[in-house]
């Protein structure tokens, strides 16, 4: 089952960003993930805007692959740097339809 990790990040100290941007995509790929977007071009269409610098959307083949990525020892220094230099919210959603009315999605 495909899952999507949504990373909503407010950068508070950009010192970590170059190394993270240059290296973490290789670790994502190592665990079967694929970036669908990694953008600072965030526009709120409805509701109160979040205080966000960038959002990344990454597809993984399973929740276990996301856990393996997050626990990878090579990711640990990048994780620590990001957590120190940002306010981050990471969310995981699956590829299901909660209402079960979209024919090309599994019922959630």
Which long-range CB contacts under 8 A does 46-52 form with residues at least 24 apart? 50/8, 50/10, 51/10, 51/87, 52/8, 52/9, 52/10
pLDDT the model gives residue 27: 98
Question: Over the stretch 22-59, which tens digit does the pLDDT of each residue have?
Answer: 999 999 999 999 999 999 999 999 999 889 999 999 99
The domains of the chain, with CATH numbers, are: 3-41+51-94 (3.30.70.100)
Question: Over the stretch 61-92, which tens digit does the pLDDT of each residue have?
Answer: 999 999 999 999 999 999 999 999 999 999 99
With cut-offs at 50, 70 and 90, classify the pLDDT of residue 1: confident
């Amino acid at each position: 089952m495909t899952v999507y990790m949504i990373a909503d990040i407010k950068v508070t100290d950009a010192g970590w960003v170059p190394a993270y941007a240059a290296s973490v995509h290789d670790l994502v790929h190592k665990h079967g993930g694929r970036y669908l977007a990694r953008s600072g071009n965030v526009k709120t269409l409805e509701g109160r805007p979040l205080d966000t610098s960038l959002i990344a959307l990454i597809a993984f083949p399973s929740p276990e692959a996301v856990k393996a990525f997050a626990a990878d020892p090579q990711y640990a220094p990048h994780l620590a740097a990001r957590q120190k230099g940002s306010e981050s919210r990471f969310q995981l959603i699956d590829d299901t339809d909660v209402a079960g009315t979209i024919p090309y999605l599994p019922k959630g």
